[in-house]
């Protein structure tokens, strides 16, 4: 396992790998790896000869009052897990290496970035797209793998890569869940026992809406109201949103239409904010 901390060494390493004809896969993470992340590394390994896992808790995607400082970190364990999953290079720069004094350049996708997560976390996606573009320029991957768990992020990164002619293939891998349905997230460690149990209601409400749609329900108002009732039974601190989105354009819809709808939600339990989503095919 090779650990690289500087932009220059990472760029030289990737350039050298490319000269040798190696295909590079990259998995950008904020560390504290779980089975969701390792599934992305396994996917990247299938698609390439060398997998670089980036570990960087990116300050520019956290808003004021969010959990940047207390975001969980465990670098030793991350290296072990990444290696076991098939990654041989870790890129883990510090904040000053990524954002030197006077840093001032940002990338924004102006469509699809101001709803859902973007509404509740106004500077979040600007931070995400900026750091991802930097990481792509630093690691030069043939393929980069993201998780469907952050569906809006995956959409915006695909859009940015396409719009800005970044020559890499963006791959989105499925959500990995606990046995009881809770989507894996580094933030799950914040949940206490009661919250952890109640949090299973997120996926339960998504599956419920899926069944209703398959049974023919087409009204977003009705679906949202029923999901809201289900979620409220779990006594969350707050439901940020329950959104129905056209996946190709990332636009909210009011009426379920073929061929598919993405149902996405964000719910808070105490200080912990959880997101989840489900892509549902819709018959005509």
Residue matched to tokens 């029923």: 226
- Return the ∠ at Cα 78 (arms to 74 and 81), rounded to 5°: 145
- Cβ at position 141, least distance to a copy of itself in Å: 13
Encoded tokens for 46? 């299938």
Q: Please report, for residues 18, 75, 136, 163, 166, the alpha-carbon distance to residue 11 in angstroms, rounded to integers and kept in the order given.
A: 11, 22, 10, 23, 16
- Cβ at position 260, least distance to a copy of itself in Å: 18
Catalytic residue among 34, 37, 111, 124: 37
Say whether residue 160 binds a copy of itself (CB under 8 A): yes
Binding mask 18-47 for a copy of itself (x = CB under 8 A): ------------------------------
Say whether residue 283 binds a copy of itself (CB under 8 A): no
37 a catalytic residue: yes
Among 41, 42, 82, 138, binds a copy of itself (CB under 8 A): 138
Nearer to a copy of itself, 134 or 212 (CB): 134
Q: Which range, of 27-35, 46-54, 134-142, 193-201, touches a copy of itself by CB under 8 A?
A: 134-142
**SS3 call for 279:** strand
Nearer to a copy of itself, 47 or 166 (CB): 166
User: Residue 58 contacts by C-beta under 8 Å, 6 or more apart in sequence?
Assistant: 30, 98, 127, 128, 131
Residue matched to tokens 């570990």: 55
Neighbours of 239 (CB within 10 A): 17
Measure CA 235 to chain center: 25
Catalytic residue numbers read 37
Instruction: Give me the residues that bind a copy of itself (CB under 8 A), please.
Output: 7, 11, 15, 102-112, 129-130, 133-134, 137-138, 159-160, 163-167, 249
């Amino acid at each position: 396992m090779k650990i690289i901390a500087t932009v220059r060494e990472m760029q030289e390493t990737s350039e050298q790998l490319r000269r040798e004809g190696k295909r590079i896969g990259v998995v950008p993470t904020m560390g504290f790896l779980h089975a969701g992340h390792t599934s992305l590394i396994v996917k990247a390994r299938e698609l390439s000869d060398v997998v670089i896992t980036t570990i960087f808790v990116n300050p520019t995607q956290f808003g004021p009052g969010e959990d940047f400082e207390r975001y969980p970190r465990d670098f030793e364990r991350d290296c072990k897990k990444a290696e076991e999953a098939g990654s041989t290079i870790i890129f883990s720069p510090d904040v000053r290496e990524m954002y030197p004094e006077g840093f001032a350049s940002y990338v924004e996708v102006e469509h699809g970035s101001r709803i859902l997560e973007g509404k509740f976390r106004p500077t979040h996606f600007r931070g995400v797209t900026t750091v991802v573009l930097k990481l792509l320029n630093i690691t030069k991957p043939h393929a980069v793998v993201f998780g469907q768990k952050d569906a809006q992020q995956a959409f915006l990164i695909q859009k940015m890569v396409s719009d800005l002619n970044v020559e890499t293939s963006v791959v989105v891998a499925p959500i990995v869940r606990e046995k009881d349905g809770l989507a894996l997230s580094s933030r799950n460690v914040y949940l206490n026992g009661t919250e952890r149990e109640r949090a299973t209601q997120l996926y339960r409400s998504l599956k419920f809406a899926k069944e209703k749609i398959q049974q023919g329900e087409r009204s977003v108002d009705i679906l949202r109201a029923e999901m809201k009732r289900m979620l409220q039974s779990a006594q969350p601190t707050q439901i940020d949103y329950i959104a129905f989105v056209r996946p190709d354009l990332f636009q909210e819809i009011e009426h379920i239409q073929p061929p598919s709808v993405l149902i996405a939600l964000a719910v808070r339990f105490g200080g912990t904010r959880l997101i989840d989503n489900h892509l549902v095919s819709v018959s005509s």
